[in-house]
Amino acid sequence: MLSLSKLKYLKSLHLQKFRDEYQEFVVEGPKMVAELLKSDFKVTGIYALKTWDSGQRGIPVSIQNLTEIISPAELVRISNLKTPNEVLATAKIPERIIEESMYDDLVLMLSQISDPGNLGTIIRIADWFGLKNIICSPDSVEVFNPKVVQASMGSLFRVKVHYADLKEVLSGINSNIPVFGAYLEGRNIYREILPQKGIIIIGNESRGIDDLLETFVTKKLFIPSFSGGAESLNASVATAIICSEFRRNTN
């Protein structure tokens, strides 16, 4: 049975304040926890129903020792999901360091992404297209928010998400690193030859890319619309089309 202090602790991790304080976050459901166990994240606790199947053959002793069997009623109390799902785990928030070598590949830069579902979906898109790093502005939604964690479908464990002042990062990079951004007056993305290195800035859905960043953009791109009606694309949809265009000739 869960102690009252453990119960309180697990519930507190639903809030950013306590995630920041304890540097831990929550992962829920057998599929996501299986992804967590395969990752290099440090697992600190597993709270599972008797019926839980870890999805790993021969679960390591280190993990077994972390596992506490709980009742369905206890799971309901600690879960953040509408339909709690067999297992909940906690893990250490990893340290992320922005390194110059990141830019030898494509890096996504997100300016003020506020919707958790959008950020989760963008992490999944980055993973699909083999982008290993995302840099978010500090005012973006926090990546260990339970909604982001669940929407990322495990891609969170493979794509490194950093937070930094984007203007500062862009000021500090080598001037030969191309910086792309989507602008209405940009060049038709379908007709450009796109490199396999550099930074792709994705703007906030309603406000676009922060004006302060525009001066750093070396190439403005545009996804043409094929109808007179729709005014914009959802941020994650735009990210998908842009990543697909950057990668399509490499496969």
Nearest distance in Å: CB 171, a copy of itself: 30
> Taking the alpha carbons of 82, 126, 53, 93 in that order, is the dihedral positive or negative?
negative
Token match 């859905």: residue? 205
Which positions touch a copy of itself (CB under 8 A)?
117, 121, 124-125, 127-130, 153-155, 158, 188, 190, 223-227, 229-234, 236-237, 240-241, 244-245, 247-251
Distance CA 86, CA 159 (A): 26
Beta sheet of 87-92, edge-to-edge order: 24-28, 87-92, 43-48, 67-69
Nearest distance in Å: CB 134, a copy of itself: 14
Nearest distance in Å: CB 227, a copy of itself: 4
Nearest distance in Å: CB 37, a copy of itself: 14
Q: CB nearer to a copy of itself: give 192 or 210.
A: 192
Query: In the structure encoding, which two tokens stand for residue 187, read together?
Result: 């060049």
Q: CB nearer to a copy of itself: give 123 or 179.
A: 123
Axis crossing angle, helix 116-128 with helix 235-247, rounded to the nearest 10: 10
Burial (Cβ within 10 Å: 0-12, 13-18, ≥19) of residue 31: middle
Nearest distance in Å: CB 99, a copy of itself: 19
| Residues 98, 162 contacting (CB under 8 angstroms) | yes
Q: CB nearer to a copy of itself: give 215 or 225.
A: 225
Q: CB nearer to a copy of itself: give 136 or 156.
A: 156
Q: CB nearer to a copy of itself: give 4 or 184.
A: 184
Token match 């906690």: residue? 90
| Interstrand relation of 179-188 and 219-222 (parallel, antiparallel or unpaired) | parallel
Ramachandran category for residue 245: left, alpha or beta (phi over 0 → left; psi -120 to 50 → alpha):
alpha
Q: CB nearer to a copy of itself: give 13 or 32.
A: 32
Nearest distance in Å: CB 85, a copy of itself: 14
